[in-house]
Amino acid sequence: MAEAIIKGLTGAGSYEIRVTNRSNQAKLAQMKEDYGIIPASFMEAVKDSEIILLAVKPKDVGEVLAQAREGMKSNQLLISVAAGIPLVLLEKHLPHCPIIRAMPNTSSAVLHSMTGLVKGQSVTEENQRDVEAIFGAVGKYIWITEEQMNPLIAMSGSGPAYFYLFTEALVKAGVDMGFSQEAAENLAKETLMGAAKMLAQSGKSPGELRVAVTSPKGTTQEALNVFLEKGLEELVAQAAKACKHRAQAMEREYLG
């Protein structure tokens, strides 16, 4: 996730980005070459940055914040993209700092993320504008309540993977019907990209677009009938709920 955001930001604006990576120096060197970031030690990154973006594994958040607390100033904004770590836990470690939870997705890398934002108790209007500038540069954003964060993860945080899985299935169907792997991938990708652009630009709802391409008793209707008979809508709902429940379970694990 961190690299996707960095890639998006370097392509969208003039940010001076310091990055620390204690576990993979080779990766840090590669990111310097690819994106022009400034490699830094942990405390250098903490002390020399106006805004800190915390993008570590949830299990490491407590340890990282305990170390960061030594160098952070009370007006320094922390943005956490760690799933399953609620504000109450973040603010326990940094009680005097403004903190915002953010849940982007990997489409940040191509400037098409949909990011959910939740503000903590000490967040100012200036902090909000700073965060909006960052995530507005890599896509769109929406301010939500913390209660909505796990449902948002189930929709947009994990959402890209759902579409990739569907694309894989469509490609396999194409190969099974006689296309080469390359041809099937091109057909599936361009079709889905076109459909996404129609959703974004037509001003019509998904249902309206579906009806427009579906002739009664036609080929598309036959395919859609199979999806409906197999319970696609219920399957999607179950998958989204499973994602939400896992996010809730992670919160319980880290809260103890």
One DSSP character per residue, the chain reads -HHHHHHHHHHHS----EE--SS-HHHHHHHHHHH--EE--HHHHHHH-SEEEE-S-GGGHHHHHHHHTTT--TT-EEEE--TT--HHHHHHHSTTS-EEEEE--GGGGGT-EEEEEEE-TT--HHHHHHHHHHHHTTEEEEE--GGGHHHHIIIIISHHHHHHHHHHHHHHHHHHTT--HHHHHHHHHHHHHHHHHHHHHS---HHHHHHHH--TTSHHHHHHHHHHHTTHHHHHHHHHHHHHHHHHHHHHHHH-
Q: How confident is the model at residue 24 (pLDDT cuts 50, 70, 90)?
A: confident
The answer to whether the CB of 131 falls within 8 A of the CB of 150 is no
Flag whether 121 is in a domain.
yes
Where is the domain boundary, 149, 179, 194? 149
State whether 89 and 192 are in the same domain. Answer: no
State whether 179 and 227 are in the same domain. Answer: yes
State whether 31 and 128 are in the same domain. Answer: yes
In angstroms, the CA 179 to CA 182 distance is 8
Where is the domain boundary, 85, 117, 149? 149
> Is 56 part of any known ligand binding site?
yes
**pLDDT of the residue at 113:** 95
> Is 40 part of any known ligand binding site?
no
Tokens of 39: 């490699």
Flag whether 178 is in a domain.
yes
State whether 30 and 128 are in the same domain. Answer: yes
Tokens of 229: 């008979």
State whether 198 and 217 are in the same domain. Answer: yes
pLDDT at 159 over 70: yes
Flag whether 103 is in a domain.
yes
State whether 113 and 178 are in the same domain. Answer: no
Q: What pLDDT, in 10s, does the model give residues 97-132?
A: 999 999 999 999 899 999 999 999 999 999 999 999
State whether 137 and 180 are in the same domain. Answer: no
State whether 104 and 144 are in the same domain. Answer: yes
Q: What are phi and psi of 87, to 5 degrees?
A: -60, -40
Flag whether 254 is in a domain.
no
Q: Residue 209: which CATH number? A: 1.10.3730.10
Q: What pLDDT, in 10s, does the model give residues 59-79?
A: 899 999 999 988 898 889 999
* Section 145-156 average pLDDT: 97
> Is 196 part of any known ligand binding site?
no
Q: Tell me the one-letter amino acid at 38.
A: I
> Is 216 part of any known ligand binding site?
no
**The total number of residues written for the chain in this structure:** 256
The answer to whether the CB of 1 falls within 8 A of the CB of 27 is no
Q: How confident is the model at residue 4 (pLDDT cuts 50, 70, 90)?
A: confident
State whether 163 and 222 are in the same domain. Answer: yes
Tokens of 87: 């504000």
- Cα 230 from chain centre: 29
The answer to whether the CB of 102 falls within 8 A of the CB of 116 is yes
State whether 95 and 192 are in the same domain. Answer: no
Rounded alpha-carbon distances, angstroms, from residue 144 to 46, 118, 192: 27, 6, 28
pLDDT at 190 over 90: yes
Tokens of 135: 């995530």
State whether 85 and 107 are in the same domain. Answer: yes
Burial tier of 51 (Cβ tally within 10 Å: 0-12, 13-18, 19+) = middle
- Give the percent of the chain with pLDDT over 90: 77
Domain holding 67, by residue range, is 2-149
Q: What pLDDT, in 10s, does the model give residues 76-92?
A: 999 999 999 999 999 99
Tokens of 73: 């100033």
Q: How many domains would you assign to the chain?
A: 2
- Give the percent of the chain with pLDDT over 70: 99
State whether 29 and 107 are in the same domain. Answer: yes
